[in-house]
Amino acid sequence: MLARLLRPKHIASAHCDLPCGVYDPAQARIEAESVKAIMEKYAANEDPVFRARAITIKEERSELVKHHLWVLWTDYFKPPHLEAYPQLHQLFWDATKLAGAAGGKGTVDVAKADELLGKIEEISDIFWKTKAA
């Protein structure tokens, strides 16, 4: 009885709390470029305090890359996009892995940052094609 009384009379749904419709892969790319730059600076500096700070900031930026990618994946891309671009699942899987422990968060290898930037570029190309459609 109580559950029935507390049940909402109207149900609304949206893809996020405040659907703004503003999405752009550039947010992930900028953070990934920061990760790469930090890796390069880390390699060029032997100071242990600098290196410790660089690792902390690199990992924070890597987490932001993952966040921005997941916002695109979960909020922007819809089933019709996946039908048109079936490689999206794999692209997002690869990119988020490269931002995480297999890449940005787990290494200072600039080649991994370049791989990540390449995946983000592929996602961006598809994103802009979907926006033009």
Q: Distance (Å, rounded) from C-alpha 115 to C-alpha 40?
A: 15
Fold for 25-132, please state it.
Four Helix Bundle (Hemerythrin (Met), subunit A) (1.20.120)
User: What is this structure's pTM?
Assistant: 0.84
Question: Tens digits of per-residue pLDDT, 29-38?
Answer: 999 999 999 9
Going from N- to C-terminal start, the domains of the chain cover 25-132
Q: Positive or negative, the Cα torsion across 37, 41, 42, 48?
A: negative
Question: Tens digits of per-residue pLDDT, 55-88?
Answer: 999 999 999 999 999 999 999 999 999 999 999 9
| Angle 53-25-35 from CA coordinates, rounded to 5° | 20
Helix (H) or strand (E) run with residue 81 in it: helix 79-84
